[in-house]
Chains A and B, each alone.
Chain A
Amino acid sequence: MKKKAYLVSTVAAAMLVSAACSNGNNAGSSSEKPSPTQSTPAESAAPEKVHKISGITYIYGNPAPNDGEGLKKLNEKFNVDYFVEKVPAETYPEKLSAVVSSGSMPDMIGFEASRADNFPRWAKQGAFLELNDYIDQYPSLKAIPDELWAPFTIDGKIYGIPSWSPTESSSFYIRKDWLDNLGLPVPTNYEELASTLIAFTNDDPDKNGNKDTYGMAIGQNINPNYAMGPYWQFDSYYHQDEKGNYIPGMISQGRKELIEFFNKLYQAKALTPDFAVINWADTNNEFYSSKAGLFLVAPRGMSQDYMTSLLEISPDAEFAVLPPFLAPDGSQGFVGGKGYARFNAFNAKLKDDPEKLKKILDMHEFSRQFYPMAEQNASNADHDWFYGGEGAGYEVADGKRKVIEPEKGSQPYHYFQDNTAWVLPDQDPEFESAYTEPKLIQATTDLVKMSKDYKQYFQPNVGVVSETEAAKGAELMQFLMNEQTKMIVGQRPISDWDAVVNEYLSRGGSQIIEEYNAVFKERGYTERRWK
């Protein structure tokens, strides 16, 4: 121990020396500037009452420039010196660890829901502001349902504010024109689905005389998972063991049935050849090149570019969204969306500066406003400002808002810590407004309607962090994926199922299950919830 500490300090000293030396060598020639954005969080310029507010969060894609017109507008409107650092999502957890360890935690800290292992630890260490007292003061926070506070509540104290994401489930869409050509109905269970997909492979559903189509597009890690309800869902806790504990879908009876289904399709060559090594982008291509007849459809985030290309290749393509299948246990419905994808926590030091905290929460409230499509124009002053003003920041065509040159950053919305509108349960998120292609709009509308027709399973595992899961979860998941892939392609008999499950349990799986179930009990989740 002591030796290690000595080593570390020696290395640190050596580094300091070499850094100092190289620094000296460059003196005079360098254009070193002190960082403009680093500041101690609690610091504020009291005389002018201009609060310096800092934040950090992650971004997919490239952010708007830091000298954008939108940021100036934001600073003027709220009379603040505001800067949120947007870090590439891929390396965000590492960067955040470094920033927090260096003791310069910004005022606002974003987390990605699926990679927030550090959040509970830091919260327990008192890094974050307790938010319980502020929730009632803000309508958009008050509107958040109780179960969505659970992931951010530690010992009764709330430390995070979720940003909205759909509660609607995703499903799968099938080529309706192919079904019609073959005179088949939309399948309603796995037997029908299997025979339909095999027919897609053998009976020339596109009537071009070539055997150039097949059933479903699927790629490595058995993705998409083609679960037609929580009974088959691999990453939900739905099934229970004999002790009444919820177990991960990955080792459940439902998953086993699904693997048998895939195995059948594999033997009939009705799924993507070499699926075990096909990445996500190529899996996409299989469907959008009109080769495969079944793929994933989600309420948002569909790529219109790919849909347009598919319709160029196959202009008569029609799509039917599959409804959930009736499970052997009598349930029918999909797993609901998590309801949040990112969340924000706040620096505990803000407690000492109530004025600044109020400003931050006010701004948060402002940027989380939801504007229905009818108001996505200049008629709503807040909306008009948020998107940079009609004609300058956005234009309205066919009733749809189109942001002008977002990469120039003339719209204030880019620069907020949380710019995702919180959609109330009685509001329509209008997913279809993201697209202009009629067939994609149709599929989205069908999917949303279907979501309303069935109850959705509210899974207990949303936002649960388990230590063992964080340490071994990924490795164990990969182990199961690999073994199940082998079962699909027939390299390993499905009768080995129990052996694989037992190996999973003994390598840490039972520990994970125990830790998850402890949290479920703490949250009072005993009976399965459907809503």
Chain B
Amino acid sequence: MYNRSITDRMIDAANWLLLAIVALLMVFPFLHIFSVSFSSLRDVLEKEFIMWPTNWVTDAYQTILASNNFIRSLGVSSYITIVGTVVSLLLTATMAYGLTRNVTGQRIILLLIIFTLLFNAGMIPTYLVVKEVGLMNSTWSLIIPSAISAFNLIVMRQFFLSIPNELTEAGLIDGASELRIFTSIMLPLSKPSLAAFGLFYAVGYWNKYFEGVLYLNDSSKWPIQVVLRQIVIMNEATAALGNEAMLMLENPPPPVTIQMAAILMATLPILIVYPFLQKHFAKGVMLGSVKG
């Protein structure tokens, strides 16, 4: 280690402090939601702002867990997220790799892909396509129409292009087939990019809302975001309307404690994924693979 000057250290300390504060700011809302969800409605009303529950109550969670709806939709979302991410990564990686090789029509295919980045068909045409191919009311309707993100595909293709050609050639010399090169050389080298795009896809699938409403007729297949919004939304919707419509509803919305508990339960699972994938981002992979 080289000797560091005092200014260096001070800058480091300031940096560290600043980042810590920013990190804390990110934790703040979560802590608030957490605390409200474990407080009684009375405490929430009485205190200006809750940072930690004074009297721990689990009423809100009992209410949520009492209905199968919530748990089932968590299951649905987990399924969509896991299957969807695998499908998406598989399709994106194979297509991106394919487009790095000399395939006839490569340019046209690329152009078509870029085209979808700029224009999309809109809700009703997409709905019609989903309906006509028979995906209606299937959880696959949340996966297949958005299985490949054009943006991710192009970035991943760029990533494959950045892998030195010598590696492919070395594989070929050793008698590997194209498939073998892809699975044994390219994929292992792309772990960081797979982890990054996997995370993007996973979060995307976990947050699916509109497609759930649009394509699923059976409420038992609703993903968590739909169920969650049905618990939380009424306040926002009527605030936007600017009238008293909400008070004339047949049923008043659930108290804020239940809403916060629902938000927390719907956010935690996807939040937990982050630390597991994070380690892959940091690893440099290509180091030392090509000499000379």
Residues on A facing B (Cβ under 8 Å):
7-8, 10-12, 14-16, 18-20, 22-23, 25-26, 30-38, 59-63, 65-67, 85-91, 94-95, 97-98, 101-102, 104, 114, 165-166, 170, 219-225, 235, 279-281, 285, 288-290, 296, 298-306, 308-310, 312-313, 337, 341, 405, 407-408, 420, 477, 481
Contacts and interface: CB of A to CB of B under 8 A. Distances in A.
A224 B248 CA distance: 13
A264 B41 CA distance: 33
Contacts of B138: 31-33, 35
Given A32-B138, A35-B136, A98-B214, A62 B231 contact: yes
Contact of B68 (A65, A66, A166, A224): A65
B53 interface: no
Given A23-B144, A97-B124, A166 B248 contact: yes
Contacts of B128: 101-102
A101 B122 CA distance: 13
Given A219-B239, A289-B45, A298 B244 contact: yes
Given A26-B144, A225-B244, A305-B254, 9 more contacts: A16-B129, A25-B90, A36-B218, A65-B68, A88-B229, A101-B128, A305-B255, A407-B66, A407-B68
Contacts of B123: 94, 97-98
Interface stretch (B14-22, B99-107, B111-119, B168-176): B111-119
Nearest to A97: B124
A285 B43 CA distance: 11
Nearest to A33: B138
Contacts of B155: none
Contacts of B42: 309, 312-313
Nearest to B112: A14
Contact of B220 (A67, A301, A337): A67
Contact of B125 (A8, A62, A221, A288): A8
Contact of A25 (B91, B230, B243, B244): B91
Contact of A88 (B90, B124, B226): B226
A31 B125 CA distance: 24
Nearest to B233: A90
Chain B interface SS verdict (over half)? helix
B182 interface: no
Interface in B212-255: 213-214, 217-220, 226-227, 229-231, 233-239, 241-255
Nearest to A115: B241
B89 to A, nearest CB: 13
B93 interface: no
Contacts of A300: 247-250
Contact of B252 (A14, A66, A303): A303
Greatest chain A CB density within 10 A among B134, B217, B226, B227 is at B217
A392 B40 CA distance: 31
Contacts of B115: 10-11, 14
30 contacts: A11-B116, A19-B144, A20-B133, A26-B140, A32-B134, A32-B140, A38-B131, A38-B217, A60-B230, A62-B227, A88-B233, A90-B233, A91-B214, A94-B123, A94-B213, A98-B123, A98-B214, A170-B247, A221-B242, A235-B243, A279-B239, A280-B239, A281-B235, A301-B249, A305-B41, A341-B248, A341-B249, A407-B69, A420-B250, A477-B242
A23 B219 contact: no
A320 B5 CA distance: 72
Given A98-B127, A296-B244, A298-B247, A65 B252 contact: no
A481 B243 CA distance: 12
Interface centre among A20, A223, A280 (most CB of B within 10 A): A280
B254 to A, nearest CB: 8
Contacts of A23: 133, 144
Nearest to B146: A22
Contacts of B253: 60-61, 303
Label chain A's interface by main secondary structure.
mixed
Nearest to A7: B119
A301 B253 CA distance: 9
B264 interface: no
Contacts of B229: 88, 90
Contacts of B90: 25
Nearest to B69: A62
Contacts of A14: 112, 115-116
A114 B255 contact: no
Nearest to A406: B67
Contact of A61 (B137, B230, B241): B230
Contacts of B148: 18, 22
A38 B137 contact: yes
A305 B256 CA distance: 10
A279 B131 CA distance: 39
Nearest to A285: B45
Contacts of A165: 248
A85 B219 CA distance: 8
Contacts of B242: 220-223, 477, 481
A222 B137 CA distance: 42
A301 B248 contact: yes
List the 10 shortest-distance A-B pairs measured between CB atoms, nearest first.
A221-B242, A289-B45, A298-B247, A35-B137, A407-B67, A303-B252, A280-B239, A98-B127, A281-B235, A35-B136
B290 to A, nearest CB: 33
B195 interface: no
A300 B252 CA distance: 9
A279 B236 contact: yes
Given A12-B121, A303-B255, A313-B45, A221 B217 contact: no
B141 to A, nearest CB: 9
A302 B129 CA distance: 43
A379 to B, nearest CB: 24
A29 B124 CA distance: 28
B120 interface: yes
Contacts of B144: 19, 22-23, 26
Most A Cβ at <10 Å: residue of B127, B235, B247 = B247
B210 interface: yes
A251 to B, nearest CB: 15
Contacts of A304: 252
A38 B136 contact: yes
B219 A26 contact: no
Contacts of A281: 235, 239, 256
A347 B231 CA distance: 31
B125 A302 contact: no
